Amino acid sequence: MNAFFFGFGFSSAAAAKALRIDSHSVNICGTVRSIEKAERLSAAGVTPHLFDGTAPGDTLGPDLRAATHVIFSIAPGPDGDPALLQHRADLDAATGLEWLCYYSTVGVYGDFGGAWIDESAPLVPRNERSDRRVAAEQAWRDYAAARGVPLTILRLAGIYGPGRSTFDKLEQGTSRRIAKPGQVFNRIHVDDIGRVTALAAAARLNGTFNLGDDEPAPPQDVIKHAADLLGIEPPPEQAFVEAAMTPIQASFYADNKRCSNAAIKQALGIELLYPTYREGLAQILETRQ
């Protein structure tokens, strides 16, 4: 397996780790935006390539053309997906290509008033970020169909994991317990993203799937639980209508839905490693001790 990651960030690193566990023969390549990150990738045994999405990467062509599995984890810009815009010719020349994977977001659905939805729900995105994701999803479907290659689109919930969790915000003093009646958020532990990606790659899975945990939950409840685990007082609860927020922060509260993960679990025959935030936070706490 020659796996190539466009955007070797938090989720891609977890997926690369899972691929290495599942396969004794896998070469990993990935793009980053800075020399410092490239040096860290190289030290971890990953072949790095600099790519910022605004122009073709100078060095990545040969590795991309040799790829069997390509995972896309870069947010689309106003003109579309950077990998497709800048490196379509290299993808076209990847004669051994077996599988594509695109990390999208549950933000493509928009607002459903807290109701449960699945992948059949209409897409009514509420902001430009999600509009671009809808367009990028379709662009990759069209490309995969034209190539005759299976494509897994994973609509990811809010990602958390070691180093990026409620614990960190609590300790940094930046956590806010904002309560909006009926509001829930969907979440997914980064290790579940990695595991599902590796399993989908092995199965050459084709289709579009939600990837969130089993229990979408109010954000203030998650913060309270994390504070209890740390043995500290949680921040005071603030009413949403009284909380000062940036437009981007407020936009997350405009969407309220519970995204079912039944389809991806059935497709791969699995349960999640961390089915709720409780198990996920417990694991993170263990890694910190």
Q: What tokens were used for 210? A: 């939600």
Q: What is the CATH number of domain 2-159+187-214+257-274?
A: 3.40.50.720
The torsion angles phi and psi of 106, rounded to 5 degrees, stand at -70, -5
Task: Give the pTM.
Answer: 0.96
Rounded to whole angstroms, the maximal C-alpha distance in the chain is 57
Q: What secondary structure letter does DSSP report for 106?
A: G
Do 161 and 287 form a contact (C-beta atoms < 8 A)?
Answer: no
- Provide the residue count of the chain: 289
Q: Are 19 and 1 in contact (CB under 8 A)?
A: yes
* Cβ–Cβ < 8 Å for 254, 111: yes
DSSP letters, 225-258, are HHHHHHTSPPPPEEEGGG----HHHHHHTT---E
Residue located via tokens 């122009």: 55
Dist CA 209 CA 197 (whole Å):
11
**Residue 95: both structure tokens together:** 């004669």
- Dihedrals phi, psi of 256, to nearest 5 degrees: -140, 110
What is the chain's pLDDT, residue by residue, as a tens digit (289 residues)? 999 999 999 999 999 999 998 777 899 999 999 999 999 999 999 999 999 999 999 999 999 999 999 999 999 999 999 999 999 999 999 999 999 999 999 999 999 999 999 999 999 988 889 999 999 999 999 999 999 999 999 999 999 999 999 999 999 999 999 999 999 999 999 999 999 999 999 999 999 999 999 999 999 999 999 999 999 999 999 999 999 999 888 888 999 999 999 999 999 999 999 999 999 999 999 998 6
